[in-house]
């Protein structure tokens, strides 16, 4: 239990984190990696370079400080992060390291303003926040290990099939190397894959959504080759170019909170851009496998016909549904007279014919695609809690951003 004095100090200094948060977390990571380079085996170096991880951490520490006396408010955020932590194998012994360098970074950035009293209050508060994460994660580790075919941390999986889905997306079918079965999972969840690429100093971890329904004797992930960039994406290119049938990758058990709620009966729209269709494939197939009678709309935007993955599969699955409908469109179609349903970006005029205020929407795609979709759905009156989205990177609160924009 924190004393009232500690709570008051933390809450009164929390606004500093809102303004200086990213400066503090940038300094934090720099100092922590200098002292503990082994942690570079866990962290995504690109998220660091792009600053997304620093911002995500700063926002969370700020929220935790603001609600230090009612941490239940941030439980959904903690749960989402803890899923990622569990997939990556973050353990209780890591927390004191983060605590030590977070406090050092606060001191470094705030200088004399960070009095001993403030630092001590923050140290105490960090202990409470860290314990909340550790407790949630313990439950997740136990659940992952104790389920049927469950395991702890990473385990070797064999690529039993590799299949091209579009000119940039390839699926990998994975089975445990030890001959055991795969665990079940919730449609929308992701695997964490760990690879050691020859010539790379550290192991690299990446998340990939499961792209088929649970219930098969394999996991399937579908990976977009991040090419034509400088530099090209490390893991996706390695998987495409060097990981073949018979090869091994390390996998940790499925995690994630972007999942299909099977209890609901309202119309549902699965909206995706590019490779963001992977969790939607799992959700769509699950709805079909369970004989759902809901109105189901699968809406997909691709760059053009050559980038369009799973076209035939989606048609086959929607045909199995009593009320399934599939729509797709291309930013720049190769065939202007083709059978696509929209051209250019996904627009309000297209969606308003499909979506109403009761529709439950799941969205996944690149950040600009997500922002556009969230804005349109908000304008169409879809309830906040029915706009559910997944990021293929550190999470952000787009609905809050949307509200800020409307206010401004």
Ligand X SMILES: Cc1cc2nc3c(=O)[nH]c(=O)nc-3n(C[C@H](O)[C@H](O)[C@H](O)COP(=O)(O)OP(=O)(O)OC[C@H]3O[C@@H](n4cnc5c(N)ncnc54)[C@H](O)[C@@H]3O)c2cc1C
Binding site for ligand X (CB under 6 A): 46, 49-50, 190, 206-209, 222-224, 226, 229, 231, 233-237, 256, 275, 278, 390, 392-393
Selecting among 20, 29, 62, 95, the annotated active-site residue is: 95
- Let me know how many helices (H) and strands (E) the chain has, helices first: 12, 12
Stretch of residues binding ligand HEM (CB under 6 A), selected from 89-97, 146-154, 272-280, 307-315 = 89-97
Smallest gap from residue 388 Cβ to ligand HEM (A): 15
Residue nearer to ligand HEM on the CB measure, 50 or 164: 50
Q: Would you call 165 helix, strand, or coil by DSSP?
A: coil
Is 43 among the residues that bind ligand HEM (CB under 6 A)? yes
- Count of residues that bind ligand HEM according to CB under 6 A: 24
* Burial group, residue 201, by CB count within 10 angstroms (0-12, 13-18, 19+): exposed
CB of 170 vs ligand X, minimal distance in Å: 9
* Cα 191 off chain centre by: 10
Q: CA separation (Å) from 279 to 3, 207, 211?
A: 44, 12, 6
Closest by CA to 77, choosing from 60, 89, 94, 57, is 60
Confirm whether 186 is a catalytic residue: no
Burial class from Cβ neighbours inside 10 Å (0-12, 13-18, 19+) for residue 19 reads: exposed
Active site residue 137: yes
Among 81, 195, 210, 326, binds ligand HEM (CB under 6 A): 81
CB-nearest residue to ligand HEM:
44
DSSP summary character for residue 210: B
Rounded-to-integer distance, Cα 32 and Cα 368, Å: 32
Query: Which one is catalytic: 20, 137, 285, 295?
Result: 137
What is d(CA 249, CA 239) in angstroms, rounded to the nearest whole number?
Answer: 9
Residue 94 binds which entry of ligand HEM, ligand X, none, CB below 5-8 Å type-dependent: ligand HEM
For position 235 contacting ligand HEM by CB under 6 A, the verdict is: no
Residues that bind ligand HEM (CB under 6 A): 39, 42-44, 47, 53, 56-57, 60-61, 81, 84-85, 88, 90, 94-95, 97-98, 129-130, 133, 394-395
Q: Which residues are catalytic?
A: 95, 137
């Amino acid at each position: 239990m924190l004393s009232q004095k500690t709570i008051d100090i933390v809450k009164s200094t929390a606004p500093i984190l809102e303004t200086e948060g990213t400066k503090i977390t940038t300094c934090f990571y720099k100092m922590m990696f200098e002292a503990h380079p082994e942690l570079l085996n866990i962290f995504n170096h690109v998220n660091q370079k792009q600053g997304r991880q620093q911002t995500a951490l700063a926002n969370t520490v700020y929220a935790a400080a603001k609600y230090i006396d009612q941490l239940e408010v941030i439980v959904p955020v903690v749960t989402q992060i803890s899923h990622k932590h569990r997939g990556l194998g973050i353990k209780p012994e890591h927390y004191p390291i983060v605590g030590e360098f977070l406090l050092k970074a606060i001191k470094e950035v705030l200088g004399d303003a960070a009095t001993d009293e403030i630092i001590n209050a923050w140290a105490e508060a960090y202990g409470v926040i860290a314990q909340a994460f550790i407790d949630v994660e313990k439950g997740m580790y136990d659940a992952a290990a104790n389920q049927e075919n469950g395991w702890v941390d990473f385990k070797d999986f064999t690529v039993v099939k590799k299949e091209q889905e579009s000119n940039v997306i390839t699926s990998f079918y994975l089975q445990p190397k030890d001959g055991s079965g795969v665990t079940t999972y919730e449609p929308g969840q992701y695997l964490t894959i760990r690879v050691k690429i020859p010539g790379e100093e550290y192991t690299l971890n990446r998340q990939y959504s499961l792209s088929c329904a649970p219930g098969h004797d394999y996991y399937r992930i579908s990976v977009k080759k991040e090419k034509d960039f400088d530099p090209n994406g490390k893991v996706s290119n390695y998987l495409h170019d060097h990981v073949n049938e018979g090869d091994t990758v390390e996998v940790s058990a499925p995690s994630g909170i972007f999942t299909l709620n099977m209890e609901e009966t309202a119309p549902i729209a699965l909206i995706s851009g590019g490779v963001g269709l992977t969790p939607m494939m799992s959700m769509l197939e699950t709805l079909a496998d369970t004989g759902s009678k809901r109105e189901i709309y699968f809406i997909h935007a691709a760059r053009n016909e050559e980038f369009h993955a799973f076209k035939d599969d989606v048609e086959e699955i929607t045909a199995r549904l009593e009320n399934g409908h599939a729509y797709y469109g291309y930013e720049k179609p190769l065939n202007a007279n083709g059978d696509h349903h929209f051209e250019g970006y996904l627009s309000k005029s297209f969606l308003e014919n499909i979506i109403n205020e009761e529709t439950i929407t799941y969205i996944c795609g690149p950040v600009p695609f997500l922002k556009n979709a969230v804005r349109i759905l908000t304008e169409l009156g879809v309830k906040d809690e029915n706009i559910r989205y997944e990021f293929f990177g550190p999470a952000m609160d787009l609905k809050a951003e949307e509200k800020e924009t409307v206010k401004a």
